[in-house]
A = this chain, B = another copy of it.
């Protein structure tokens, strides 16, 4: 059998090939000459398997898709609060090249508009760093997301610098407000180089998968961003990533994404998959026409909208029996299954609280549990503690160590709670 994922991708490519609206960016020659029919889509699983269709190995400049990654590097270097002091996280409702500074402070509203991206770039490396030094730091950081050494398109960089008046205006304005402290022209040079890094769809999908994989690069296994910062980056992508069409994107497609003027879109479903599309025809917001169509199709087909919610986890309790032990005592055996999050744990606790018969023992069977998140783990452990306080014998069957993993802030399992590997000890018990 051949996996149908690639065929699916090829099929949806065909589905958008007749969208001939939009135009390639034309403010520099290199972009204006891009082939408008270039088209590709690429997925990367969180363990690094790549699926693609179309032009997934063609290089193009990363442009604004560099913004969330520069933001990630700045967050990693300075911490969330220091970065927030310079760049906000509020959507601006304005085009990417508007000033959009917070009244009074002069702080750019978010790091996805150019003013915010320039500010973010200037936070990479120590004050006074040269454009080359910042560029190297950024390239090193980005390469860790990608897993290969990336290069700058010198021709695009030169052309961009020739016409970077608007960014120079923004950088000087930011300097006048004291938001940027370095020389504005140097910041623009470095930022422009950041945007001129060449990537392929394969690279973008891998970068996206790294974010989807909670910051761990799927191939190298390297943690390139901490979990809280991944969350910060994705939050800003979600509300500010698609220029002034962020709300429309949220309501129709609904996964965090970032687009670039060269025609790329990078998106992802946290915990699931990284996505990248490429088609240089842009709509009036500066987003790739076919790329948006591809993302919409994938979101619809694959249920990727972040607000879809997973199906209500009603079946987390696989079985809940009260057995009579040979000596006559009553034993309750509650078997869980699947992924347990808050609502699943709540259900378990609710059931365990609702006990009319005088039990002497409770067994929690976690053998079929595939995962437990933090809150659910706390809740289950708290339940075990309370059952124990009720003078019950408590046993947890947890060969996968689902709730036993001890974090910094979690006590060991309560004394008195036994652990077991299987339920064979209860084979003699009878159903009541």
Q: Which residues of A contact B (CB under 8 A)?
A: 1-5, 45-47, 49, 88-94, 99-100, 109-110, 163, 165-166, 168-173, 175-176, 184, 212-214, 227, 230-232, 234-236, 238-240, 244-248, 250-251, 254, 256, 269-273, 301-316, 337-339, 341-343, 346-347, 349-350, 352-353, 355, 368, 370-371, 373-375, 378-379, 382-383, 386-387, 389-390
Contact = CB atoms under 8 A, between A and B. Distances in A.
B213 A312 contact: yes
Contact of A311 (B309, B346, B371): B371
A27 to B, nearest CB: 10
Interface centre among A99, A269, A346 (most CB of B within 10 A): A346
A270 B90 contact: no
A256 B89 CA distance: 16
Closest 10 CB pairs of A and B: A270-B309, A271-B309, A338-B370, A169-B172, A90-B247, A165-B176, A169-B173, A235-B251, A89-B247, A302-B375
Given A1-B353, A346-B49, A246 B239 contact: yes
A268 to B, nearest CB: 9
A121 to B, nearest CB: 17
Contacts of A309: 212, 214, 269-272
Nearest to A342: B302
B89 A91 contact: no
Contacts of A236: 247, 250-251
Contacts of A212: 309
B272 A342 contact: yes
A47 B347 CA distance: 9
A355 B1 contact: yes
A303 B213 contact: no
A361 to B, nearest CB: 13
Q: Which of A244, A251, A349 has the most CB of B within 10 A?
A: A251
B246 A349 contact: no
Contact of A231 (B271, B305, B349, B370): B305
Given A238-B250, A338-B370, A343-B45, A2 B92 contact: no
B256 A307 contact: yes
Contacts of A247: 88-91, 109-110, 235-236, 239-240
A44 B269 CA distance: 27
A250 B256 CA distance: 12
9 contacts: A47-B312, A169-B171, A172-B172, A214-B312, A231-B308, A302-B375, A303-B373, A306-B307, A338-B371
